[in-house]
């Protein structure tokens, strides 16, 4: 495990995005709103910063995108690929381990 502090939190935006896209394809604005709603607005970065993460995930083959027009508005929709599903499983496993470790420290007598 990484011994620097950033190692604990690295990959969280990717994890949340991949998890959301596991259920359905979404566009950037929807993703940000969904993250804000599910985290009770605990995670509220500048909303635009989601796009570089989406583009990087697409570049590595974890996501695919397509432009789709809905209600007269054209938007880029993202969806999970099989590689993305594997990455999600790996990130979720890592996060669970980190979370368990932190919990163990917090609850140590």
Partner 1 sequence: MRFDALRENLLKDGVAPRHVRRYLAELSEHLDDLTAQQCEAGYDEEDAAIRARARLGDDSELAAAMLEQPGMRSWPARLPWLVFVALPPAATLLLGTLLYAAVYFIGNEAAKINAVVPVPQNLLIGFSVMAMTAISVLAVPVAATLLALLADRQRLKPLWPLLGIALLLLATPMFSSRFGHHAYLGVHYGLVIATKWSVVVRFWPLMLSHALALPPAAWLIRRRSAA
Q: Which of 38, 49, 41 has its CA nearest to residue 14?
A: 49
Q: Is 49 in the site for partner 1 (CB under 8 A)?
A: yes
Would you say 22 or 29 has its CB closer to partner 1? Answer: 29
Q: Is 92 in the site for partner 1 (CB under 8 A)?
A: no
Q: Is the CB of residue 102 less than 8 Å from the CB of residue 77?
A: no
Would you say 73 or 107 has its CB closer to partner 1? Answer: 73
Distances, alpha carbon 61 to alpha carbons 19, 44, 103, in Å? 15, 26, 33
Query: Which spans of this chain sit near partner 1 (rule: CB under 8 A)?
Result: 27-29, 32, 45-49, 51-53, 55-56, 59, 73-76
């Amino acid at each position: 495990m990484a011994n620097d502090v950033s190692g604990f939190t690295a990959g969280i935006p990717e994890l949340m995005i991949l998890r959301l896209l596991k259920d359905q394809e979404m566009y950037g604005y929807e993703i940000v709103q969904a993250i804000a709603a599910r985290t009770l607005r605990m995670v509220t970065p500048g909303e635009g910063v989601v796009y570089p993460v989406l583009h990087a995930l697409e570049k590595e083959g974890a996501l695919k995108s397509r432009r789709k027009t809905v209600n007269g508005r054209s938007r880029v929709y993202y969806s999970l690929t099989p590689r993305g599903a594997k990455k999600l499983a790996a990130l979720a496993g890592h996060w669970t381990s980190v979370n368990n470790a932190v919990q163990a420290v917090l609850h140590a007598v």
